[in-house]
Amino acid sequence: MRRYGSLIKVKPEKLEEYKDLHADVWPEVLKMIRVCNIRNYSIYYKDGFLFSYFEYIGEDYDRDMQKMAVDPVTQDWWKLTDPCQEPLETRKPGEQWASMEELFHTD
């Protein structure tokens, strides 16, 4: 299992819309997250930033993320959520959410 943390800004005028969307995530989106071997997925908010955390239990992260990216329902979901977000300028090429380096963990 590998842990992932990432960061993105939320547009202030879109915060309530983003919260409303995540208060009622589509079941097909939740199923695809699970099919792609993601567990314990959380999103937190603070001072204009969204922080996501999840655990990946699969064997091929890139393949699973590609599977999610081509899923039509997930693409429709992202059409609603992406306009609420403002990617960080310091993200890697191709990233929507900026990857974070894990510095510490304890069970």
Q: Domain holding 24: CATH number?
A: 3.30.70.1090
pTM of the model: 0.91
| pLDDT tens, residue by residue, 74-101 | 999 999 999 999 999 999 998 999 999 9
Asked if residue 52 is part of any domain, the answer here is yes
For residue 105, being part of any structural domain is answered with: no
Q: What is the CA radius of gyration of the chain?
A: 14
Supply the range of the domain harboring residue 84. Answer: 2-99
Number of domains observed in the structure of the chain: 1
Nearest alpha-carbon partner for 4 in 47, 35, 33 = 33
pLDDT in tens, 36-77: 999 999 999 999 999 999 999 999 999 999 999 999 999 999
Does some domain include residue 81?
Answer: yes
Q: Cα–chain-centroid distance for residue 98? A: 10
